[in-house]
Amino acid sequence: MEWVRINGSYGEGGGQILRTSVALSVITGKPVKIFNIRANRPNPGLRPQHLHGILALKELSNAKVKGAEVGSTVLEFIPGKAEPKHVRVPIKTAGSITLVLQALLPAMAFTGGSFEITGGTDVPWSPPVDYLKNVTLFALEKMGLKVELELKRRGHYPKGGGLVTGKVEPWEEMKPLVALEWDRMERFGGISHATNLPAHVAERQARAAKERLGELYSAPVEIKTEVSRSLGPGSGIVVWAETDSLRLGGDALGKRGKPAEVVGREAADELLGQLAPKKAVDRFLGDQLIPFLAFAGGEIGVAKITNHLITNVWVVEQFLGKIFEVKGAVGGPGTVKTVRRGLI
């Protein structure tokens, strides 16, 4: 048995190395040993939010796993036969549901199946569920992957309690994605939400974002507002630009003492910054697309080459060999092109 050995402290050195490595282990059938897990972080080793993604992939692929516990700095994952399943992931905190899906979706693309995940839907340091649904899945659909995702309940830090369900159709037709630059702005969309808070919070976030976007672009802006109940209070907004290529996004979270208008403007400014280089893909979507591009092929222009993207390229190539050509310096705009498709 030949192991793929992954240094978990490489590059950006975070949880993404784990998510992509274990997903690719399931897809390729190759066992993986990840060492030095998050070695350069203040609290090294596996954290609870990483475990949930690993355990979900263990269930999907009937894998044998060693070292899957909080604080572990070495993980051994030996996949079995992956098959379509209904995978339940009960995160009992506000651990990010979307980060679990970053691990699960690439693998599930090859099996199909459904999922039900509880935890955090709108939490710091991870993509909000509205971004995943309206920006990421929009791009994946262009690549031939159909994912249904339903937000049943919001979950904010620190209590969580969010619920997301969905299903993935087996990825039968892999369409190359060529998305280099956008030329025409068609419209802006968005969702502004307030949970266990007055309706005016969501409305003020939306109004401030709409005003800011309108200062630079004349395209129509439609930001929906949503008021809901869950375990704890929270608010946030995701805005996206629908161009003649893909969608680019921006988001912001509310917190105690932060005016709703500031939250709305923050999300709009994030999006405006992504649009400025005229590239088709924003900096968040760039690294999320890497595992899918490896198999579908194509070329994307990214508003910002991030360490996350470079690290994800490196992980993919440990499993599949040379796949990508990245042009541009970290921190600036660039392109990512596949020189060949990964085969399984």
Tell whether residue 49 is among the known ligand binding residues: no
* Rounded Cα gap, residues 128 and 134, in angstroms: 10
Q: Is 244 annotated as a binding residue?
A: no
- Contacts of 122 by beta carbon, 8 Å cutoff, 6+ apart: 128, 129, 130, 154, 155, 156, 162, 193, 234, 236, 253
Distance between CA 120 and CA 103 in Å, rounded?
16
Question: By the 8 A CB rule, do 269 and 156 touch?
Answer: no
- Residue 2 is classified by DSSP as P
Q: To 10 degrees, the CA torsion angle through 203, 206, 211, 213?
A: -170
| Active-site residue, 308 included | yes
Element (H or E) spanning 78, and its range?
strand 75-78
Residues with Cβ within 8 Å of residue 269, at least 6 apart in sequence: 212, 250
Closest CA to 37 of 65, 77, 10, 3: 10
User: Is 318 known as a binding-site position?
Assistant: no
Q: Cα separation of 306 and 330, whole Å?
A: 5
Q: Please choose, from the candidates 65, 61, 54, the residue with its C-alpha nearest in 3D space to the C-alpha of residue 82.
A: 61
Structure token digits, residue 184 = 């025409």
On whether 102 is known to bind a ligand per the annotation, the reply is yes
Determine the Cα–Cα distance for residues 132 and 166; give it in Å rounded to an integer. Answer: 12
180 is in an annotated binding site: no
Catalytic residue among 50, 52, 156, 308: 308
Distance of alpha carbon 243 from alpha carbon 331, whole angstroms: 23
> Binding site annotation covers 324?
no
d(CA 278, CA 234): 33
Residues with catalytic annotation? 308
Tell me the binding residues for ATP: 102, 284-288
